[in-house]
Amino acid sequence: MKTKNILFVMALMGSMTGSVAQNVTILHMKDGTTRRFTNGTKETTSIRFYEYAPSETDTPHFTTTHDNGYQATWDVNQVWTIDGKYVVGLFWQTDIPQNFEARHGVCLGTKPGVTVDNCDHKTYATDLDGYPGCHYMVIGERWKKYMEMTINVAHKEPRFYIYDEENNRLITPLELGQTYYYRTFAECQVEENGQQETAVLYGTEQSFHVPKLMADFGYANPARFSFGAVDTFAEHFPEGVTPPTWEQMESLWNLWLTTEEAKQIDLSPYISSETFDDGLAYCINRIPDEFYTWIINREIYIDPLDGIFEVSQYQNSQTFELEPTITPRLVSNVDASWGVPGNKYVRFEQNMTKVNHSVTYRSDEVVAGVPYDVIIVFAPETVESSQIPTKVNVNANAVGSESSSQLAKSLEAPADKTTHVQVAEKYSITTMGLDLIIKTNVSSSELSRNKFNRTMRIAEIRLIPRH
């Protein structure tokens, strides 16, 4: 039901009489009070009744989606996340006559029942340029870039840009897990008992909850390491190495938990739990030293098929699409007499014969700072009768790094026997994860003379720690 505030706008109308009229207009109010208006030099007095309907922020239901799929609903018009902190935007419209000289604003508090005299924060809004009766407010910490805000105004472009300026700012940190209550208001100049007074007209009180999410506090379900535990664990790594993050260690941690060694260690004293908006979560507050010992001494096996990250490509002259120059094919049930590990290998069949080909193998389990011997096993040719060898270059780099190291150049891989090659001794990287690039290195003349071909056959890749 609308709240009615009867305000008066006086407009003296009529023709000049040449003398002062003595007529008086008397208005009897429902509460028993009266208002007297002398006509003055005019013949009539015009009184207009203004009915104030409390303003509400337009479309005040904004939804944010978070990493684990949790969605939070905010009773505001816009939400931004800046460096892990939240900023909200409000937009509202009013139809208060210009005669009332209204000053619009927002009051904010952490308890319901906020007013201009009972709130934690109050600030005023300037009119939105080009949108009569429209106002906006941004609540939160400062930011250093402009942001776009969506609004709902008939026949107008439904968005505008907000810049880091002084106007329309309620600057206060929004605490995670806290609920905030707010009301828009207008301070108006009205006549009261023959005197001009300030009346405050309020919008409907609304609230928004700042989500408290497990990921923001280092918790997860299932459990993850706390920020402090990761920082302490980082002290194990040598100088000049970037210690791994939780995300980089998680798969290794889950593998370690299945070992007999891990099963003998009681982690319960180091696990805490807490309830968040997105559920009950757990945190491991200490990473055992045994886990570090395990990851730096663990031999790493890269599957010749599953470990493929990418292969070389070329642009199709007909479709202009990028297509692979080679296609990996798993060759199984290789005769044991060949001595191929697991009796299988991956044969890279050529889609394009005029270029050298490459395959990149990726392992996210290679630990930064650990010296590894890198061993590649090349299989013999068991599909075709041809026994022509190939030549390859082998390069390596940390995942995400643009700088690579050449481990082997023009390495010959025979087609008539299984070949174990150590392409690197005590090779290490400074960040977690390794890309190993194997590329054929056969010239056109070598190809035309059948001295070498460009068919790669990879059976196994291993990285063995050498401390």
pLDDT tens digits, 389-421: 999 999 999 998 888 999 999 999 999 999 999
Q: Which residues pair with 107 in a beta bridge?
A: 122, 183
Residues 22 and 69 in one domain: no
Q: What is the mean pLDDT of residues 431-457?
A: 96
56 lies in some domain:
no
Residues 94 and 12 in one domain: no
Residues 281 and 312 in one domain: no
Q: Can you point out the beta strands (E) in 94-174?
A: 103-109, 121-125, 134-140, 147-150, 159-162, 169-171
Residues 89 and 192 in one domain: yes
Length of the chain: 467
**pLDDT the model gives residue 15:** 31
20 vs 9: CA distance, rounded Å? 22
Selected residue with higher pLDDT from 15 and 346: 346
2 lies in some domain:
no
Is residue 10 very low, low, confident or very high in pLDDT (cuts 50, 70, 90)? very low
Residues 241 and 326 in one domain: no
Which domain-ending residue is among 209, 227, 259? 209
Q: State the total domains in the chain.
A: 4
> Could you write out the DSSP letters of every residue in 341-376?
GGG-EEEEEES-SSS--EEEEEETTPPTT--EEEEE
Residues 236 and 131 in one domain: no
CB 232 within 8 A of CB 287: yes
Which domain-ending residue is among 209, 233, 262? 209
What is the average pLDDT value for the chain, to the nearest integer? 87
159 lies in some domain:
yes
107 lies in some domain:
yes
433 lies in some domain:
yes
57 lies in some domain:
no
CB 165 within 8 A of CB 71: no
**pLDDT the model gives residue 177:** 95
Which domain-ending residue is among 209, 241, 262? 209
To the nearest 10°, the Cα dihedral for 189, 190, 196, 200?
-60
Residues 323 and 431 in one domain: yes
Residues 441 and 382 in one domain: yes
Selected residue with higher pLDDT from 383 and 11: 383
Tokens of 95: 């139809």
To the nearest 10°, the Cα dihedral for 52, 53, 58, 63?
140
Residues 307 and 348 in one domain: yes
Q: Can you point out the beta strands (E) in 227-321?
A: 271-276, 279-284, 300-302, 308-311, 313-315
Residues 344 and 287 in one domain: no
Q: Is the pLDDT of residue 169 over 50?
A: yes
| Helix H or strand E segment including 464 | strand 457-465
Q: Is the pLDDT of residue 200 over 60?
A: yes
CB 56 within 8 A of CB 206: yes
Residues 114 and 136 in one domain: yes
- Note the pTM of the prediction, 2 decimals: 0.68
Residues 412 and 310 in one domain: yes
1 lies in some domain:
no
396 lies in some domain:
yes
**Cβ neighbours of 439 (radius 10 Å):** 17
What CATH number is attached to the domain comprising 311?
2.60.120.260
Q: Which residues pair with 465 in a beta bridge?
A: 372
284 vs 276: CA distance, rounded Å? 16
CB 381 within 8 A of CB 466: no
Range of the domain at 371: 301-465
